[in-house]
Structure 1
């Protein structure tokens, strides 16, 4: 398995993580849920990475794969007034990752990150490693620290 910018970022920071490859299904309606099922993981702890814009500025939200964002809560988490999903082509250009493989780690351009507050109490979470079909497992407190992220209520 080739290293990704995300795994290299974590390794440089001395963060312990495990890699979990799975068969990526590009036709899956909910990629994070498909990944959780493929790996036999609780979907509450398999987190998806969503790129958003808050008052026109890029940001990143990390939430459980079965959840939906509340744009009102996203705006509040980043001290903004309005939030919207970032169009996929813009998200790919900004992060350097393809949709279905976007990771909050090792993004081409660093942006503010918020992680769903309910997820940070788990002993371990799984997040995209920066490649379709590859998750990494780590302690959520390590994710918060290395990303300088905030824990905030983000779910609808």
Structure 2
């Protein structure tokens, strides 16, 4: 059981587990969508960006990219850039391809792309490669304090 799943259970957040075979070395979100038979727009990837020493979490559909300009605007930062994968791993405690927006080593401001609201449930990483969790975007906004903004492109 990953820290992400433990946190969902502790906070009594409704979730579903979605394990899959992970043989990908990049495009983990697209691979997960393919393996699970779900649209890429419903399977979200977790990205870590930063400005100076302030890191932020961006959650966007695996079918697209994150608008760094919109992410900076949503978080009130002057500008942001993507964190190097090795730095993202150190900061979150998760491996690339399994970085969950939940139960990271340090609580970070988290922004979910507004397209998530098109779905009752979205999938995010469960904290390791080959494991996604289905969660309600509205419940995550309410119980986890995730901001919702137009950050996808």
> In 2, Cα distance between the equivalents of 1:95 and 1:41?
26
Question: Which consecutive aligned stretches of 4+ in structure 1 deviate over 2 angstroms post-superposition?
Answer: none
Question: Hey, what does 1:85 align to over in structure 2?
Answer: 82
Q: Is the 8 A contact 1:119 1:140 kept in 2?
A: yes
Q: Name which of structure 1's ranges 31-40 and 47-56 shifts more when overlaid on structure 2.
A: 47-56
> In 2, Cα distance between the equivalents of 1:16 and 1:69?
27
5+ residue gaps, structure 1, are none
Question: Hey, what does 1:16 align to over in structure 2?
Answer: 14
* Secondary structure in 1 matching 2:23: coil
> In 1, Cα distance between the equivalents of 2:39 and 2:118?
14
> In 1, Cα distance between the equivalents of 2:137 and 2:106?
21
Shift of 1:155: 1.8
After TM superposition, the score normalised by the length of structure 2 is: 0.95
Question: Hey, what does 1:58 align to over in structure 2?
Answer: 55
Question: Hey, what does 1:108 align to over in structure 2?
Answer: 105
Question: Hey, what does 2:119 align to over in structure 1?
Answer: 122
**Could you say what the CA RMSD is over the residues aligned between the two structures, in angstroms?**
1.1
Q: Is the 8 A contact 2:111 2:149 kept in 1?
A: yes
> In 1, Cα distance between the equivalents of 2:85 and 2:17?
25
Question: Hey, what does 2:46 align to over in structure 1?
Answer: 49
Shift of 1:99: 0.4
Q: What is the aligned residue count?
A: 153
Assess, with a 3 A threshold, how the Cα gap between structure 1 residues 141 and 83 changes in structure 2: closer, same or farther.
Answer: same
Assess, with a 3 A threshold, how the Cα gap between structure 1 residues 55 and 82 changes in structure 2: closer, same or farther.
Answer: farther
After TM superposition, the score normalised by the length of structure 1 is: 0.94
* Secondary structure in 2 matching 1:97: coil
